[in-house]
A and B are shown apart, each in its own frame.
Chain A
């Protein structure tokens, strides 16, 4: 057995759905693509597909769980939609490194920001909220950030549940400024809302 090649192959099978499905459909073809010899392919073929699928699912659930903790406002405001969006995102990025969960959370925010409008029709404020959550994942070094928002995100932060949020929140063009000063963990945020709310039809 080439343990190096076996581990490289199984790591991809665990973490990438398309490779995993392809391997169990045609182990010889995919095994050779993964640089395995016939003996190693035969060994991997003996793995329990059910066990591998269970482990692969647990890896995604673990990522989801970690991201929930790092994006608490998004999680609270989206409710069940948070998980639904995550499952769509999970195959597009594979985090690595010591701070992989932070990278994962940040990339998830970018994924949400990049969603087409029709995919966030029932939560039009999603782009703004994801952008705000992404700001809070920034480096711990001192920084200053600003962003123009279409919605007053403080209304989302103050609401208690997804059902309250789903009542239409008016568009209110807002300039949000975040500041992290040296020597402090606190991130200050100030929102400068323009003087009139803009109706959703505008």
Chain B
């Protein structure tokens, strides 16, 4: 059971080190970083297993990957030497424009092929196992050749990579786009799910936002339980669960309580 590392939480994380099994670091925060940030990375690496979680590989970009970015990411992964690392099933840039957030891909075989080609290129730089995370999305591409679950499965199988299932994103999408999240999860190749994310969200303008800035919603906890129960029953290879809290930090005891709740859920199931 682990926590997404955020600098404001550093002191508390070290104070409660025994209750946190590993940390997930936002890779981009340590790329082109000032010396004090690199010193922080060294400190963390000396005390925790660190899992780099990248934001801007843009694996879904039909233009291909950014070689300069991948080289910097590879150096970070090499320094940290994690058991795996991750990024998202999305694109973040095109035509010289940085969109600024994770953007959904059309659910087509062409997009599957693009992602797989980009993953293959990345593997030339980073040999360690890559996990792909499902994103939360507002926009749905109108023409699809397959369901989202089939798309995720196709990429995972064709690229032979693992999955990072973000339960909060899945829940938000199921609410915003009206589908059954459990049915979605049941269609995924569960033997490829290596890590889970869970986080809080809030409503804005009629949309559930995966804000990572609020407590985990009760319905998201229910979905988490369903996922964990299904994984337990089906020999999933989940090796880590990360709580993401990016801002609006509560007392650290509240964060530990959510970690404890997740840990208890796993142990009971």
Contact = CB atoms under 8 A, between A and B. Distances in A.
Contacts of B209: 58
Interface residues of A, number: 37
Contacts of A52: 139
Given A10-B94, A11-B93, A59-B99, A99 B32 contact: yes
Contacts of B139: 47-48, 51-52, 55
Nearest to B31: A98
A147 interface: no
Contacts of A43: 141-143
B100 A140 contact: no
Contacts of B207: 54
A3 B145 CA distance: 14
B36 A140 contact: yes
A52 B171 CA distance: 20
Interface of B: 28, 31-32, 34-36, 56, 61-63, 69, 72, 91, 93-101, 103, 106, 108, 110-111, 114, 137-143, 205, 207, 209, 247
What are the 7 closest A-B residue pairs judged by CB atoms, nearest first? Answer: A140-B34, A8-B95, A46-B142, A96-B98, A7-B94, A3-B62, A11-B97
27 contacts: A1-B106, A3-B62, A3-B111, A7-B62, A7-B63, A7-B95, A8-B97, A10-B103, A11-B94, A11-B95, A11-B99, A12-B95, A15-B100, A47-B142, A48-B140, A48-B142, A51-B139, A54-B207, A55-B103, A55-B137, A55-B138, A58-B101, A59-B100, A65-B247, A94-B97, A94-B98, A100-B100
